[in-house]
Chain A
């Protein structure tokens, strides 16, 4: 393939992946999914009933893998059986995937709330009606972007895996990245904004999530509004970087041109990882200097 076309495709894949990552994180924030949801689940037990969507659709990786593989399967059927143009097929596939995800979201919020009867957590139907379309909207964007990435990789870059399987794998990966990065911003900061900034959640405050908003009662919209300023975009960068850098090393040093080029691509990848290790260390040193220790050093005091 022409190197220039390869670069263009790669850029498009990177952009689509970045959007997918950002919308994946916001989807899990508006519906409260994955690990931070353990606090939403705990809140009624600690006498804090709430109006936050308790979307317990397994972990994010399986739920995103489901969305993406449903979308990909529907799209491939439409392309092969109905000879639809790929773009329309991907859109319709994503639409079906978003509907399937909607049923998963609704059943989990109903089920989890009903299982908290003894803590008197009511089920607010207006909250479910207003949040579910937003969740479906975000999941549509995520699925569509992942399908674009997978389609480009199979059809243009010639990846041997079939489209559905590639979409499945990228779904697992985007979910893993989303729940490791952006969700922390929701779980550690937004859910517990009433406590002092600059520390982890004290275990004694578990379940005491913020339940009242700037005005009225806090809901998922307020959470996604906040996370859209930091957690969502950085998740997008993370997934975009993963997809882009992973393919970039083999586009620059094309292993098809020989073994040496292949090993150059490996060296480039290792160099990227080393740079990231050093970057993490620099941030750690910076944070230690800027924030300082939480406790006095008792051993030093004793010796002095």
Chain B
């Protein structure tokens, strides 16, 4: 488990500050654009969610490199557990500042859990506090971003009506959580590379946008839904091809078929 890139951008990847900035600023900008533009442009919320999911995947990558004692999925689940509570709280009290209030609430809850994990439970992971703040924040932005895709705005009433009451919030919960935890989990191994992991995060986030876009047809009509799905599919296809290219770059060999390597080849 201690494999992977311990310590973020140490392996010549993108520095963590850059990714944090992309995630937080890009996420919030996407959410606000999706909110203020007409419903047909709700895909901006999806773009925000993609930024947030990439950030979350990078934070998971940094903290899970230390070995959590249990699987990588657990941290994705706690991230979205915190995120869902914080997201709905912020939207309920914040009005137009809703996503920012949610973000701050998530950071506070994340910091508390991070401190508890290190100080009370004694996990001894040096970046636990920071990572929990980042993961909770990213999870919250991902949830709000995908909610904007479905509801077209982030005002509390419409979100409750179009996302929570019909249970789509459970879909957002798991698809956002898998977007954050799957990239590092799927690339786990000693030769894990940051750019490949993050490209997978883009690919998974694009699937989330496609599915959320389909769900948006209930409220926003077929045109907006079609545009959401179309943009999601384009990003998905691009990211998947790019990811496959990175796999071909990193893998020992990509062969059409073949027998197992012989003992001499393994030396």
Chains A, B in direct contact (C-beta < 8 Å): yes
Q: Residue B44 at the A interface, CB < 8 A?
A: no
Chain A residues contacting B174 (CB-CB under 8 Å) are: 62, 65-66, 69, 168
Chain B residues contacting A73 (CB-CB under 8 Å) are: 167-168, 171, 211, 214-215
Q: Report B241-255 CB contacts with A as 1/0, cut-off 8 Å.
A: 001101100111111
A62:B77 contact, CB within 8 angstroms: yes
Given contacts A58-B178, A122-B261, A164-B170, contact A70 B211 (CB under 8 A): yes
Q: Report how far A51 CA is from B260 CA in the complex, Å.
A: 7
Given contacts A81-B217, A111-B196, A162-B165, contact A118 B173 (CB under 8 A): no
Q: Residue A47 at the B interface, CB < 8 A?
A: yes
Question: Chain A nearest CB: distance from B59 CB in Å?
Answer: 16
By the criterion of a CB under 8 Å from any partner CB, how many residues of chain A are at the interface?
57
B170:A114 contact, CB within 8 angstroms: no
Looking across the interface, which residue of chain B has its beta carbon closest to that of A127? B257
Q: Which of B77, B165, B167, B254 contacts A122 (CB 8 A)?
A: B254
Q: Residue B81 at the A interface, CB < 8 A?
A: no
A118:B185 contact, CB within 8 angstroms: no
Q: Report how far A122 CA is from B166 CA in the complex, Å.
A: 45
Question: Chain B nearest CB: distance from A180 CB in Å?
Answer: 14
Q: Residue B266 at the A interface, CB < 8 A?
A: yes
Q: Report how far A253 CA is from B41 CA in the complex, Å.
A: 52
Q: Report how far A71 CA is from B68 CA in the complex, Å.
A: 32
Q: Residue A56 at the B interface, CB < 8 A?
A: yes
Interface stretch of the complex, out of B6-14, B119-127, B187-195: B187-195
Given contacts A81-B217, A124-B257, A165-B167, contact A110 B178 (CB under 8 A): no
Q: Residue A282 at the B interface, CB < 8 A?
A: no
Q: Which of A49, A63, A119 contacts B178 (CB 8 A)?
A: A63
* A59, A103, A104 — most chain B CB neighbours (10 Å): A59
Chain B residues contacting A121 (CB-CB under 8 Å) are: 252
A56:B188 contact, CB within 8 angstroms: yes
Q: Report how far A47 CA is from B263 CA in the complex, Å.
A: 8
B170:A123 contact, CB within 8 angstroms: no
Give the residues from 96 to 114 in chain A that come closer than 8 angstroms, CB to CB, to chain B: 96, 100, 103-104, 107-108, 110-114
What are 29 of the A-B contact pairs (CB < 8 Å)?
A41-B188, A57-B182, A58-B72, A58-B76, A62-B73, A62-B76, A66-B175, A69-B170, A73-B167, A74-B214, A76-B167, A103-B203, A103-B207, A104-B178, A107-B182, A107-B203, A114-B187, A114-B196, A115-B187, A116-B191, A116-B252, A118-B252, A120-B253, A123-B252, A127-B257, A164-B168, A164-B171, A168-B171, A217-B260
